[in-house]
Structure 1
Amino acid sequence: MQLLILTLAAAWALTDGAAAGGRAAAPAAVAAAVTTPPMGWASWNTFAARIDYNVIKAQADAMVSSGMKDAGYEYVNIDEGWWQGTRDAAGNITVDTAEWPGGMKAIADYIHSKGLKAGIYTDAGRDGCGYYYPTGRPAAPGSGSEGHYDQDFLQFSRWGFDFVKVDWCGGQAEGLDSRSTYQAISDAIGRATAQTGRPMVLSICNWGNQSPWNWAPGMSTMWRTSGDIIYWGQTPSMDRVLANFDSAQHPSAQSPGHYNDPDMLIVGMPGFSAAQNRTHMGLWAISGAPLLAGNDLTEMSAETRAILTNREVLAVDQDALGRQGVKVAEDQTGRQVYSKVLSGANRRAVLLLNRTTSPASITARWSDLGLGGAGTVRNLWTGADVGTYTGGYTATVPAREAVLLTVDAGAVTPSPTPTPTATATGAIRGAGSGRCLDVAGGSQANGAQAQIWDCNGQVNQRWTPTGAGELRVYGGKCLDVYNQGTADNTSVVVWDCNGQANQRWRFNSDGTITAVGSGKCLDVPGNATANGTKLVIWSCNGGTNQRWTRT
């Protein structure tokens, strides 16, 4: 069953202090609920539908006694299984009071009594996930909120819930339109808040269908970007962790109060080692993702507790800028560098990820991070400074693991690019062809092809490098690797500047220009020299068709 927690995201630049474009305004009643990624615990990964008052009470107690509350975890979220789809004659939700003494208000009140916030779950369709995928309880027809949006969300608010996750099993089965359906739900939450004064975080859970990162920031706090990180009864898998991490890479959608959601954490669940737990936690932290633990807090080991409550790692996730970390280098396949801009002058969180099956040396170059000069490197898992370095830092990363660092360049002024002429606007001439980097037909349309053409000094051949590593033309268009591609022969085009890694370029001392997002070079295919030859990215080889000079 696909289950998720979703929030809003908004366009945000990936360099210090620069906003990247507008976004739809979220309803104030929803947006006011959070300013950093939600942190808490959710019942699904450990308990599935086998939940009741005592299960939830025990987890709330453990969140406090374990120190997780003090570390910033605050939501206790009741997932699927609390309700079997029953309603009274007026259409109000009813529950089994043998399982939930005092009803759902009683458990919300108990959670609040511990200084925590309460979350609840429903589906956008008529029949929720408990009908289509019964897990621990009989199939439950009618367990969705379709036809009762205003009634249900008002009831949740009156019960005292602060967070609601809205799943998509019924919505998918009925062929509903995600965007309009979740907009109706968001509007209903806004009306409920207007009556009760209690904002509720909306977590959209449609598993990334219909690209929620393009529209969910205007109506929610968080939105799921992929399927479940674990299905009931499965053993945790690093492959699934990495797949969910990859699916959540939509940095232009994320900003304070609005987050891509790669799903709940599986840190501390049976089957994962401490190293895997740290890697998983580091991936979510560099992403600025919601952190909703899914392990049994009442049986948590000291090692798991230390991973979940590492204050320096949590500070990366919770950084006030709300940026999502992005891939800035992959010099060799599977050896990746991710960077997240942090608040404060010239500070970055850096994740060195080794996806290969052997230990590997991975280098974070300051130029890829938008930094210059010397930077102090700190390992967040050991809690120790490892030294001050100029130009970059290299670490050996075990197979299928990650190292999480911060780099603090203090008051050092970031270097725009490694070349002294990088800030000047001018032409970029191909060494092999003698022709210039050109936008086909002088077009300013998104997707217009980059090509080589006789150098003529016209505006479609005048490129301006920026401190973010962009190559701008016409002022607001950027040289772009189409669709964030990484494969050889991917087209190079121009697109509205958005700060993503596929619009960042690095000038190298041998004259090559590396596409930061793919680690491949700007290339004239087949060593061609004819006007109109379309440009691509290709594995760097130093050939004359990959060498360029600025004029």
Structure 2
Amino acid sequence: MARDAGAAAAPAAQPSVASIATPPMGWASWNTFAAKIDANVIKGQVDAMVSSGMKDAGYSYVNIDEGWWQGTRDSAGNITVDPGDWPGGMKAIADYIHSKGLKAGIYTDAGRNGCGYYYPTGRPAAPNSGSEGHYDQDFLQFSQWGFDYVKVDWCGGNAEGLDPAATYKSISDAIGRATAQTGRPMVLSVCDWGNGSPWNWAPGISNLWRTSQDIIYYGQSPSMSRVLANFDAAQHPSAQGPGHYNDPDMLIVGMPGFSGAQNRTHLALWAISGAPLLAGNNLATMSDDTKAVLTDREVVAIDQDPLGRQGTKVAEDHTGLQVYSKVLSGDGRRAVVLLNRTGSAADITARWSDLGLTGSAAVRDPWTATDLGSFATGYTANVPAGQAVLLTVTGVDGGGGQPQARQIVGGQSGRCVDVPNSATANGTQVQLWDCNGRSNQSWTYTAGKRLTVYGNKCLDANNQGTSAGTAVIIWDCNGQPNQEWNVNSDGTLTGVQSNLCLDANGQGTANGTKLVLWTCNGQPNQQWSLRAAS
């Protein structure tokens, strides 16, 4: 069975890309302007970033997205642009951005033709607007122009059937060679929409990697359902660490059609995730409320916490009523989101035991900078339908904080419980596979007796089955008893609902052996150990 290439854990920053301590913050042109950009548009947003207070709040990158280049090159193969759109060329606009104390970002495609060729949006289709065949030349040119950040899209790569991991490794290496010549490292944003499970290989070659499709398509109105879908798709906490981040896409905070409550819910989800904060609204015309959301210092601080952790779901007592927790720097500090995905208001409780805290804890509302008091065992808030409550909690770490990721290793096989090919689809049956440290083998045993993977999928007895032979699968965590497991002192893992053992089918030990429920019988194919994920 073919496996995804690459390592899962986020290593130290690689020399080929810039070293950044926290998720990048800034603004990108696509969501508001699509391909209809020129120097005047960008300068207007640069000026607004400074005058609005966003720069002072930490936003620093101004990213010029698709549309700046129409695929033209000179006789030497160097990129050329329309001087009417970009007087002085791209170096001039990078210089302008730098003159305001900000950093400059640019965009290209991994393939021969960029997204503007396949999906023209505001400009005619532009052939040859990708960098394939010119990686060294183009990334050196970007660096020489003065750009600090490059987003590399995947429209051409996808159309040509390129291999994402190998292609982006070549791009990262080209950036490294450019940096060696210019001394200007660039942040690399991998934008392959989650193709090829980039959370398994992109941490070693880039700073951020898209985990899903666009959060908004050209001409669409913003959608909270799309926000939630992108949030869910970015749940790969074992891949994330300082300098390397899951990217659920640019923000749509402040886009026409989103309410203030939706803006706050959206930013809270990105903050709890430790996601890049790249605003996409029109900074020159945004409302005071939108400005207040984007520049809230305490919320931004949650996102920018130096530990670089991604928050994970720690409880869902009732379907759609979820608690997410993010470990923050400092003793006993957590950020918490109470998320109501249902159609009616409901009480949601954050229990300190689920957050890895013991004793009483102090609760604060970062949106209003208000201390809400000290509470003995947890905090309950009434959360409106489709919204989230964001909190910070300070208590005492109990046993080292939140539950840690573990590998589940078979006593007979020595192989790990594995989600085949890093699949995320509900109903995927788990298997044995050589232990490799990737996120599809990293399981967290929660206080609610759930074994979670990717942060949002639970080990599940298929269709609530309680008979021997029931397939063991992954499914969205939903609080049902077929997703609860006892970790027993005799080395078995038993379903709380079925009281059956997790079993390597047919006493198999080979890669690909499927896991099922079976009557506990003391045989070695039902023996498991939980080891720290490597």
Under TM normalisation by the shorter chain, which class is it? 0.7 to 0.9
Native 8 Å contact 2:242 2:307 kept in 1 = yes
Q: How does 1:446-525 map to 2 (within 5 A)?
A: 446-447=416-417, 503-506=443-446, 513-515=449-451
Higher relative contact order (CA 8 A, sep 6+): 1
Give the match for residue 443 of structure 1: 413
Q: How many angstroms does 1:381 deviate by?
A: 1.6
1 CA distance for matches of 2:465 and 2:280?
A: 52
2 CA distance for matches of 1:193 and 1:486?
A: 39
The answer to whether 1:272 aligns with 2:258 is yes
The answer to whether 1:362 aligns with 2:328 is no
- The amino acid of 2:415's aligned partner reads A
**Correspondent of 2:14 among 16, 21, 27:** 27
The change in CA–CA distance for 1:392 and 1:270 in structure 2 (over 3 A counts) is same
Residues paired across the two proteins, number: 472
| Structure 2 counterpart SS, 1:369 | coil
| Structure 2 counterpart SS, 1:368 | coil
| Structure 1 counterpart SS, 2:17 | helix
1 CA distance for matches of 2:447 and 2:104?
A: 51
Give the match for residue 369 of structure 2: 383
- The amino acid of 1:503's aligned partner reads W
Q: How many angstroms does 1:540 deviate by?
A: 2.7
Give the match for residue 197 of structure 1: 183
The change in CA–CA distance for 1:497 and 1:214 in structure 2 (over 3 A counts) is closer
2 CA distance for matches of 1:275 and 1:502?
A: 34
Give the match for residue 539 of structure 1: 480
Give the match for residue 433 of structure 1: none
Q: How many angstroms does 1:506 deviate by?
A: 4.8
Give the match for residue 283 of structure 2: 297
Give the match for residue 274 of structure 2: 288
The change in CA–CA distance for 1:339 and 1:481 in structure 2 (over 3 A counts) is farther
| Structure 1 counterpart SS, 2:167 | helix
| Structure 2 counterpart SS, 1:81 | coil
Native 8 Å contact 1:326 1:339 kept in 2 = yes
Give the match for residue 92 of structure 2: 106
Native 8 Å contact 2:110 2:130 kept in 1 = yes
Give the match for residue 152 of structure 1: 138
Native 8 Å contact 1:10 1:258 kept in 2 = no
Give the match for residue 75 of structure 2: 89
Q: How many angstroms does 1:67 deviate by?
A: 0.2
| Structure 1 counterpart SS, 2:44 | helix
| Structure 2 counterpart SS, 1:171 | helix
Q: How does 1:229-248 map to 2 (within 5 A)?
A: 229-248=215-234
- The amino acid of 1:539's aligned partner reads Q
2 CA distance for matches of 1:177 and 1:521?
A: 30
- The amino acid of 2:398's aligned partner reads P
| Structure 1 counterpart SS, 2:322 | strand
Q: How does 1:50-449 map to 2 (within 5 A)?
A: 50-409=36-395, 412-415=396-399, 442-447=412-417
2 CA distance for matches of 1:360 and 1:100?
A: 52
2 CA distance for matches of 1:88 and 1:519?
A: 51
TM-score normalised by the chain length of structure 1: 0.79
Q: How many angstroms does 1:446 deviate by?
A: 1.1
Deviation track 1:143-184 (CA, whole Å, cap 9, x = no partner) reads: 111111111111110100000011111111111111111111
Q: How many angstroms does 1:194 deviate by?
A: 0.5
1 CA distance for matches of 2:456 and 2:307?
A: 25
Deviation track 1:409-466 (CA, whole Å, cap 9, x = no partner) reads: 1xx2415799xxx9xxxxxxxxxxxxxxx98763321128xxxxxxxxxxxxxxxxxx
Deviation track 1:180-233 (CA, whole Å, cap 9, x = no partner) reads: 111111011000011100010011111101111110011110010000000010
Moved more, 480-489 or 359-368: 480-489
2 CA distance for matches of 1:140 and 1:485?
A: 35
Give the match for residue 40 of structure 1: 26
List alignment gaps of at least 5 residues for structure 2: 1-5, 485-495, 502-534
Q: How many angstroms does 1:379 deviate by?
A: 1.3
TM-score normalised by the chain length of structure 2: 0.81
List alignment gaps of at least 5 residues for structure 1: 1-8, 12-21, 423-437, 449-479
The change in CA–CA distance for 1:339 and 1:66 in structure 2 (over 3 A counts) is same
The change in CA–CA distance for 1:502 and 1:364 in structure 2 (over 3 A counts) is farther
The change in CA–CA distance for 1:334 and 1:298 in structure 2 (over 3 A counts) is same
1 CA distance for matches of 2:377 and 2:125?
A: 59
Give the match for residue 459 of structure 1: none
1 CA distance for matches of 2:457 and 2:110?
A: 41
Native 8 Å contact 1:49 1:82 kept in 2 = yes
RMSD of Structure 2 on Structure 1 (CA): 3.3
Deviation track 1:54-90 (CA, whole Å, cap 9, x = no partner) reads: 1000100000000000000000000011111111110
1 CA distance for matches of 2:365 and 2:270?
A: 16
1 CA distance for matches of 2:155 and 2:292?
A: 35
Q: How many angstroms does 1:244 deviate by?
A: 0.5
The change in CA–CA distance for 1:372 and 1:496 in structure 2 (over 3 A counts) is farther
- The amino acid of 1:141's aligned partner reads P
State the percentage of identical aligned residues.
Answer: 68
The change in CA–CA distance for 1:369 and 1:139 in structure 2 (over 3 A counts) is same
1 CA distance for matches of 2:391 and 2:443?
A: 24
The change in CA–CA distance for 1:141 and 1:238 in structure 2 (over 3 A counts) is same
- The amino acid of 1:445's aligned partner reads R
